[in-house]
Structure 1
Amino acid sequence: MNTLDVLSDRPPGPPRGAKAHVALWLDCRRASEETAEAARAEAAYTVHDVLPPASGTASTERSSVNGTVVVGPVHSLAGYRRLMRGLLSSTTASPAARPPAIEYPVQAVDALVNARLDLTGGCEAKAMRSCAGVAGAHLLYDALRHDLRSPDWLRAMAGGIPAPYLLWTTHFGAGPDRGAEYAAKCLFPGTAVALAPDALRTFTRHTVVTGPTSVDLVEARRVAGILDWFGIRLDALD
């Protein structure tokens, strides 16, 4: 699943040989205004968009610096399907409308599943820690590709409703190395990856994109099946 080669340190900038067709975003939601401003200046020629510092207002819909509406987050296929139904029924057709981004927090899904596995205990449960987030990303990406080919969405897009895309995010607490590792495993074409300033710096300085992530549904379903054996429904996480 990993399509990045680890390199020695190099100057900041777009990854060399970027061929994955993935947009890099800077995630400043948990940064101060001062930190966010400095990070934006450093990443000006690297990122396509920025998630600004949180306003403090609770909402399931936010906007990026460039005006992209970010909806979610969703943690499973069940939440994703509810959100897609809502987008289909509530989005207004407009030639100037930007496609909305559906946030899937990869590390948060791992954290939810890891906590339940830790309660179960045992070597088998421990072996499945930190597998759920990436497996869920593969399943979600496949579901979106399928949905956008459905009659309902084809009619909606023909009528001017923009097709949504997936935005993979990580948590600031994951650390720069772990954040970059998550990004390396979610380079699905036509999606976006949002990284905290330190994780983005690690990603751009130490990796080069050699191609997109290949969808591996066999492995993703294997992980989902094992988690189901532990009583954890990957397709129905809260």
Structure 2
Amino acid sequence: MDTLTPLPVRPVGPLRRAAAARVALWLDRRRAPESDGPTAGPVLDLAGAADAVQDLLPPAPENRPSGQLTAHGTRVVGPVHGPVGYRRLMRRLLSEASSASPAARPTAIEYRVPAVDALVDARLDQVGGWEAKAMRSRAGIAGAHLLYDMHRRELASPEWTEAVAHGAAAPRLLWSTQPGAGPDRGADLARRLLLPGTAVALSPRALESFARHGVVTGPTVPDLAEAHRIVGVLDWFGLRLDDLDSPAG
């Protein structure tokens, strides 16, 4: 009889490789634990992942005007779903940065990938047809890659360069895999969003799936050509990412 007790699975390659790619992994506990059944195999020792998980989003009420604070004091604002909401929020943050003391809290702008997919997919379903169906679940990643490129250019602007030179903390982008993505989908989104200088928020189960099965060879290279192609096809259907943050969106 086998009397050996399986040891807890320790966080290995994917978590540390994500950190090496200059991507901060955050544990997202804002929502109830996933209830889609246990993950096969021994439970991941999340305590052992402390060196790879850099922050925690604790349970908190939604839609707080001032933003939610992480365990380490970063203010999370948003969410934004596209360029319009992002630009609006960056203007507000720049105004705050211009008058803030150097000790002002660091800020993360949240972009919820599954929420963007859900908004666009619902409109694609209204369009109907196999062409529209083929574009489902593509807008979120495409929008994230375009937003990343926009964010890099925005932080390189004279206004933000001056604000940072005077002690303001440049905001970072936070890719959220909740709500709407199960553990495996969340892990896959994380793998495709290892964009340097950003953070990825994963539920406990998604973090476990990423640690077990994630294949990370280095940082994600923004695929702007593919992102623009997807946006162009969506535009042909009459769907614009700019509209997702409009009052009617």
Q: TM-score, normalised by structure 1?
A: 0.87
State how far apart, in whole Å, the 2-side matches of 1:108 and 1:169 are.
9
Task: Mark the runs of 5 or more structure 1 residues left unpaired by the alignment.
Answer: 1-9, 33-37
- 2:100 matches 1:101: no
Measured after TM superposition, the shift of residue 159 of structure 1 is 1.3
Distance of 2:154 and 2:187 partners within structure 1 = 29
CA contact (8 A) 2:115 2:180 kept: no
Residue in structure 1 matched with residue 218 of structure 2 by the alignment: 211
Q: How far apart in 1 are the matches of 2:242 and 2:193?
A: 18
Q: Please show how residues 70-85 of structure 1 align to structure 2 within 5 Å.
A: 70-85=76-91
CA RMSD of aligned residues (A): 2.2
Deviation of the 1:172 alpha carbon: 4.3
* 1:94 Cα offset (Å): 3.0
Cα distance change, pair 31–43 in 1 and its aligned pair in 2 (3 A):
farther
CA distance in 2, matches of 1:112, 1:29: 21
Count of aligned pairs: 225
Alignment of 1:44-123 (within 5 A): 44-55=50-61, 58-59=64-65, 61-91=67-97, 92-123=99-130
1:3 aligned residue? none
Aligned to 1:22: 23
Amino acid at match of 2:100: A
Report matched runs for 1:25-36 at 5 Å: 25-31=26-32
Instruction: Between the two structures, name the one with larger relative contact order (CA 8 Å, sep ≥ 6).
Output: 1
Q: In terms of Rg, which structure is larger?
A: 2
The one-letter amino acid paired with 1:81 is R
| 18-27 or 136-145: bigger deviation | 18-27
Contact kept in structure 2, 1:61 and 1:69, CA below 8 Å: yes
Greater mean alpha carbon deviation, residues 176-185 or residues 97-106: 97-106
TM-score of the superposed pair, with normalisation by structure 2: 0.84
* Deviation larger for 89-98 or 186-195: 89-98
User: Which stretch of structure 1 is more off in the superposition, 90-99 or 158-167?
Assistant: 90-99
User: Contact conserved, 1:168 with 1:192, CA < 8 A, in 2?
Assistant: yes
Overall identity of the aligned pairs, in %: 63
Give the AA of the match of 1:135: A
Shift of 1:14: 5.9
Q: Deviating runs (4+, > 4 A) in structure 1?
A: none
Give the match for residue 132 of structure 2. 125
Q: Deviations over 1:66-110 (max 9, x none)?
A: 000011000000000000000011234333334310000011000
- What per-residue deviation string (whole Å, max 9, x for no partner) do you get for residues 95-151 of structure 1? 333431000001100000000000110000000000000000011000000011111
Give the direction of change, closer, same or farther, for the CA distance of 1:46–1:31 in structure 2 (3 Å limit).
Answer: farther
1:64–1:183 distance in 2 versus 1, CA, 3 Å: same
Which of 166, 173, 184 in structure 1 is aligned with 2:173? 166
The equivalent residue for 1:142 is: 149
What is the CA deviation profile of residues 180-231 of structure 1, one whole-angstrom value per residue up to 9, with x for unaligned ones? 0111111100000000110000001212421111111111111001001111
Q: How far did residue 40 of structure 1 move?
A: 6.3
